[in-house]
Amino acid sequence: MKSKLGRLLLALFMVLTVVVPLASTAVDAASTQKTTLTDRHLSAIKKRGYITVGLSADYPPYEFHQTINGQDKIVGFDISIAEKIAKDLGVKLKINEMGFDALLGALKTGKIDMIISGMSKTPEREKEVTFSKSYLNVKQVVMAKKEDAAKLKSSADYEGVKVGVQKQSFQEELAQKELFGSKITSLQKMTDLVLNLQNNKIKAIVIEKPVADAYIAQNKDFVLTKTTFAQSTKETAVALPKDAPALTAAINKSITQINKQHLLKQYQAKANKLMFQKNSFFSQYGSYFLKGTLYTIELAVIGVFFGVVLGTLLAFMKRSRHFVLKAIAVIYIEFIRGTPLLIQVFIAFFGAQMLGLGLSALISSMIAVSLNSAAYVAEIIRSGINSVKPGQLEAARSLGLTQTASMRYVVLPQAIKNIFPALGNEFITILKDSSVVSVIGVSELMFETGVVQGASFKPFYPLVIASLIYFILTFGISRVLAVFEKRLAASN
């Protein structure tokens, strides 16, 4: 009996020595797996309650603007995919719209959490970001006008032919590699490419087939050529940060469901239906131009106001006898005047994020425009002060006024009359130059014009309307300034 009990205890001990380590290993593995199911990106998304998708909404049927129940909305099958991902994560969806070539920079600096904008997987992009599973294999085609399509049958027929592609896209890479001898024109927006094709500035566009089908349905002059590519299809996927394994896994799960349940066909059908709403042009898009005009005026007013405040300070710093103050003013003014406003906008937009400020595109653009205006206003004010005869200051000092009082009561009132016309011109300049902020998604007039171009499939007509609005604004401001100048002249 004791012998049997001993053997039983020995067997039980041997089982425990095997099972316990295995169970411990399983627990550790489960714990490790649980740990890897989160990362800082996913944790931040869950904490704030929304996920931000970056896109360029000028690419129907992927993403485009449409007026629905009187409200401007971004729609398309990429939006449906983003909504599905947000729903599966249990958070809300926030859309951050900007130029296509600014998307990767926005993702890498944390402005957005993911890119869903018809973005193809390429080796170059995979070095910078992580891609999810693909949700669409897209065929690449060449679209041309009917009279040119017959001449463009193979890649050998493109010698000296002007071909349009979207900047920093897979189509750009494809045209460079396979359309031998072609002259590549790279533009940021598809609507600009279509406008160039419509006006014979280019002869063909390398484009994704769903987008080409949308334009061909609206313009009977456009057709697909018989040109084929060696790499005719490309995977389209969601672009994500490099260090986001948990977020990538969660999004891959959503895309797997989309693929298995064939949801993309439903999303595409919904997008196609929204593309071809039949309303009058102004009832559908008039609000876009109004919104863009108000933002443009707001940018110009704020830019010039803060430009005058900072510019005045810089002007006096440049006139200062203190070497450090003068050096700071000179370096600032020369740097700002020596670099394009576009670069300054990008620096303000991405630089603020890298400093942890998280400024919106609108605030970033206001800062950039104000800082840019300040440099030019500083020179306007300095030259206005210098235009006052030195004897005026000397006379004021001889009457016992201090340097500050002489400047305030004698020099500046005379200088303002010389400064005012130039400040008016600066306002008009800012009004027009503020169009560059459209690249980071600020809804000023040119941005909204691009939106209407993409949504209406009318590349030229919205430009005419925008030009008329700019003319009305600048002409009206010029007339008002002329009245003030006459009154100032009369006061002499």
The band of 16, judged by pLDDT with boundaries at 50, 70 and 90, is very low
Q: Are residues 252 and 291 in the same domain?
A: no
Q: Are residues 207 and 175 in the same domain?
A: yes
Q: Are residues 231 and 310 in the same domain?
A: no
Q: Pick the closest to residue 68 from 269, 274, 271 (CA basis).
A: 274
Q: Are residues 53 and 142 in the same domain?
A: no
Q: Are residues 327 and 456 in the same domain?
A: yes
The band of 492, judged by pLDDT with boundaries at 50, 70 and 90, is low
Cα gap 356→348, rounded to integer Å: 12
pLDDT for residue 121: 87
Q: Are residues 89 and 218 in the same domain?
A: no
Asked if residue 12 has pLDDT above 50, the reply is no
Q: Are residues 338 and 438 in the same domain?
A: yes
Asked if residue 368 has pLDDT above 90, the reply is yes
Range of the domain at 180: 134-236
pLDDT for residue 277: 65
Mean pLDDT for the stretch of residues 437-456: 83
Return the minimum-mean-pLDDT range out of 77-91, 205-219, 269-283.
Answer: 269-283
Q: Are residues 54 and 24 in the same domain?
A: no
276, part of any domain = no
List alpha helices for 73-202, DSSP H: 77-89, 103-108, 123-126, 146-149, 170-178, 190-198
pLDDT for residue 34: 39
274, part of any domain = no
Largest CA distance in the chain: 127
Q: Are residues 307 and 380 in the same domain?
A: yes
164, part of any domain = yes
Return the minimum-mean-pLDDT range out of 61-65, 87-91, 164-168, 404-408.
Answer: 404-408
- For the chain, what is the domain count? 4
Q: Could you count the other beta carbons within 10 Å of the beta carbon of residue 327? A: 13
Cα gap 289→72, rounded to integer Å: 12
Cα gap 484→297, rounded to integer Å: 20
- Comparing 168 with 473, the larger pLDDT belongs to 473
Q: Are residues 144 and 227 in the same domain?
A: yes
- Comparing 113 with 31, the larger pLDDT belongs to 113
4, part of any domain = yes
Residue bearing tokens 């006459």: 486
Q: Which residues lie below 8 Å from residue 238, measured CB to CB, with a gap of 6+?
A: 81, 85, 114, 115, 116, 119, 131, 132, 135, 251, 255
pLDDT for residue 408: 67
Q: Are residues 360 and 305 in the same domain?
A: yes
Q: Which CATH number characterizes residue 290's domain?
A: 1.10.3720.10
Mean pLDDT for the stretch of residues 381-390: 78
Cα gap 290→472, rounded to integer Å: 13
In the three-class reduction of DSSP (H, G, I as helix; E, B as strand; rest coil), residue 72 is classed as strand
Single-letter amino acid code for the residue at 42: L
Q: What percent of the chain has pLDDT over 70?
A: 88
- Comparing 428 with 58, the larger pLDDT belongs to 428
- Token readout for 336 is 């700002």
- Token readout for 3 is 């012998």
Q: Which residues lie below 8 Å from residue 406, measured CB to CB, with a gap of 6+?
A: 393, 396, 397
The band of 25, judged by pLDDT with boundaries at 50, 70 and 90, is very low
329, part of any domain = yes
Task: Identify the sign of the CA torsion 77, 104, 128, 50.
Answer: negative
**Cβ contact 36:245 at 8 Å:** yes
Asked if residue 138 has pLDDT above 70, the reply is yes
Please give the torsion angle defined by the CA atoms of residues 89, 93, 96 and 102, in that order, rounded to the nearest 10 degrees. Answer: 20
pLDDT for residue 491: 60
This prediction's pTM: 0.67
Cα gap 362→296, rounded to integer Å: 11
What is the CA angle 19-22-25, rounded to 5? Answer: 150
Tens of pLDDT, residues 29-44:
443 343 345 688 999 9
Asked if residue 95 has pLDDT above 90, the reply is yes
Q: Which CATH number characterizes residue 203's domain?
A: 3.40.190.10
110, part of any domain = yes
Q: Are residues 376 and 346 in the same domain?
A: yes
Tens of pLDDT, residues 315-365:
889 888 888 999 999 999 999 999 999 999 988 888 877 777 778 888 999
447, part of any domain = yes
pLDDT for residue 123: 86
The band of 59, judged by pLDDT with boundaries at 50, 70 and 90, is confident
Report how far apart the first and last C-alpha atoms of the chain are (Å, whole number): 127
The band of 24, judged by pLDDT with boundaries at 50, 70 and 90, is very low
Residue bearing tokens 């990538």: 248
The band of 230, judged by pLDDT with boundaries at 50, 70 and 90, is confident
273, part of any domain = no
